[in-house]
């Protein structure tokens, strides 16, 4: 570590621990950094290591998540990783909340049809402030009026009006009620 300072060396070790740099490439990277600081030419192997790292940084900046998945896996397998809690706190709540995965929805407040459920036609993981709740709603097998359509029958209009009147109190409760979601999605 002649010319490269201690903090750069520590950062290289962190990158290796996170799986962003192969541990075998650390020595080549240190050598390349020394040569760069001294204004000397790097070997082809050192150039390849530097080019690979720059490529990974470009992927991170442009939003390629595979590098993050690789780092997440490496950290979870590495018992020495002291910053795991910090690393996990940077993940979005949606990635951490098992209810999203269990319900099979894309995220909070994103309803999904459940054609194979015996009694309910849809599911949503509702989030309002800090409250999170999995809600199944809509009677399975029943066709609803759906969104108002030009030229729809008076019968359909009456069905929609009746549903909204019958469930008005519960619809007014907001995102944490099944009636709100049934009104929004089905009526």
Where do the structural domains in the chain lie, given as residue ranges?
A: 6-89, 93-185
78-113 per-position pLDDT tens digit: 544 445 555 454 445 555 688 888 898 888 899 999
- Inform me whether the pLDDT recorded for 37 exceeds 60: yes
Q: How far is CA 19 from the centre of its chain?
A: 20
Q: Which residue has the higher pLDDT, 81 or 184?
A: 184
- Taking the whole predicted model, whether its pTM rises above 0.85 is answered as no
Cα separation of 91 and 87, whole Å?
A: 7
Q: How far apart are the first and last CA of the chain?
A: 68
Q: What is the DSSP string of 67-95?
A: HHHHHHHHHHH-TT-TTHHHHHHTS-HHH
Contact 14, 71 (CB under 8 A): no
Q: For the chain, give the percent of residues with pLDDT over 70.
A: 74
- Inform me whether the pLDDT recorded for 13 exceeds 70: yes
137-151 per-position pLDDT tens digit: 999 888 776 777 788
Q: For tokens 């995965």, what's the residue?
A: 101
């Amino acid at each position: 570590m002649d010319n490269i300072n201690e903090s750069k060396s520590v950062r290289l070790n962190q990158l290796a621990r996170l799986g962003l740099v192969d541990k075998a490439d650390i020595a080549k990277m240190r050598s390349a950094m020394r040569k760069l600081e001294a204004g000397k030419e790097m070997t082809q192997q050192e150039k390849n290591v530097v080019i690979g790292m720059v490529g990974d940084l470009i992927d991170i900046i442009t939003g390629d998540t595979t590098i993050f998945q690789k780092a997440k896996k490496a950290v979870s397998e590495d018992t020495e990783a002291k910053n795991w809690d910090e690393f996990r706190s940077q993940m979005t709540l949606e990635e951490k909340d098992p209810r999203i995965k269990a319900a099979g929805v894309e995220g909070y407040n994103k309803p999904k049809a459940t054609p194979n459920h015996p009694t309910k036609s849809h599911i949503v993981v509702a989030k309002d402030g800090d409250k999170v709740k999995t809600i199944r709603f809509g009677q399975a097998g029943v066709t609803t009026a759906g969104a108002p359509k030009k030229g729809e029958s008076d019968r359909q209009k009456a069905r929609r009006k009746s549903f909204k009147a019958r469930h008005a109190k519960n619809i007014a409760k907001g995102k944490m009620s099944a009636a709100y979601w049934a009104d929004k999605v089905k009526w």
